[in-house]
Amino acid sequence: MLAKRIIPCLDVRNGRVVKGKKFMDIQDVDEPSKLGKYYSESGADELVFYDITASNEDRKTSLEFVKKVAEEINIPFCVGGGVSSLDDFKYILRSGADKVSINSSAVKNPNLIKEASERFGNQCVVLSIDAKKNEKGSWDVYIKGGRENTGLDAIEWAKKGVELGAGEIVVNSIDEDGMKNGYDLELLKKIVEAVNVPVIASGGAGTYEHFLEAVNYANVDGILAASVFHFGEIKINDLKKYLKENNVEVRLAN
């Protein structure tokens, strides 16, 4: 059994890590490379950085923080936000990132997934899906930092993304984002069952049990969180020990 990955998520705005609820009420947290180094030393398996206003402001990802992070940490990390071309992939990977996450641009130009996968390898291409439940009980895909409903069905979009070459899917529940009530387990389970690549849970972690539920109920490959780590409510090593005690395979720090 592959070890489940614990992945802190760092939302970056104007060169600072920030955190909000349901993409609103944004609070300042810390400097990206400093926080990244702390997590790298604290037992995180990977990190994800999102330049959260790049797509909405129609600009490229800020590469300055990517280079600084690469100098400070020794674990894999993924970068997303404002990625819309193969050149963006190239510059982010050259700046030291291991993976590139695409969201809004993939919806607008699905072929970007295919082209990036063919050029850089599917292990570098992460499809991030911001999903929100609709009145019919299914989930719509949102873009531009949760501001625009595309009308796409989240499960169908995940399947299409993998067919085009995405090597990993990050599923973020807008309804649960920053709320600490637990992950959207039904959505995660449906996507895990629909695709044959790793699926990462995002949006909603508040307790140790929430992480365990995401693994046991939805069988996700990785569990991503922000608030509980940033504000010191859950320590990564403590979380890993808890998961290990509950028969979840994790990599414990030496």
Distance, in Å, from the CA atom of 98 to the CA atom of 124, rounded to the nearest integer, reads 6
In a domain, 103, yes or no: yes
Structural domain harbouring 94: 5-245
Which pLDDT score is estimated for 93? Answer: 97
CA nearest neighbour of 224 among 69, 63, 46 = 46
Q: How far from the centroid of its chain's Cα atoms is residue 240's Cα?
A: 19
In a domain, 240, yes or no: yes
CA nearest neighbour of 227 among 68, 35, 73 = 35
Q: Classify residue 206 as left (phi > 0), alpha (psi -120 to 50) or beta.
A: alpha
In the chain, how many domains are there? 1
In a domain, 141, yes or no: yes
Tokens 């030496």 sit on residue:
254
Here the tokens at position 215 are 């693994």
Catalytic positions, please?
11, 130
Q: Where are the alpha helices (DSSP H) in 195-233?
A: 208-218, 227-230
Which pLDDT score is estimated for 56? Answer: 64
In a domain, 90, yes or no: yes
pTM: 0.92
CA nearest neighbour of 130 among 101, 110, 109 = 101
CATH of the domain at 186: 3.20.20.70
In a domain, 253, yes or no: no
In a domain, 183, yes or no: yes
Segments of the chain with pLDDT less than 50? none
Contact (Cβ atoms closer than 8 angstroms) between residue 77 and residue 46: yes
In a domain, 251, yes or no: no
Which pLDDT score is estimated for 86? Answer: 97
In a domain, 185, yes or no: yes
Sequence-distant (6+) residues with CB within 8 A of 218 are: 183, 185, 188, 189, 192, 199, 201
Which pLDDT score is estimated for 19? Answer: 75
Which pLDDT score is estimated for 54? Answer: 64
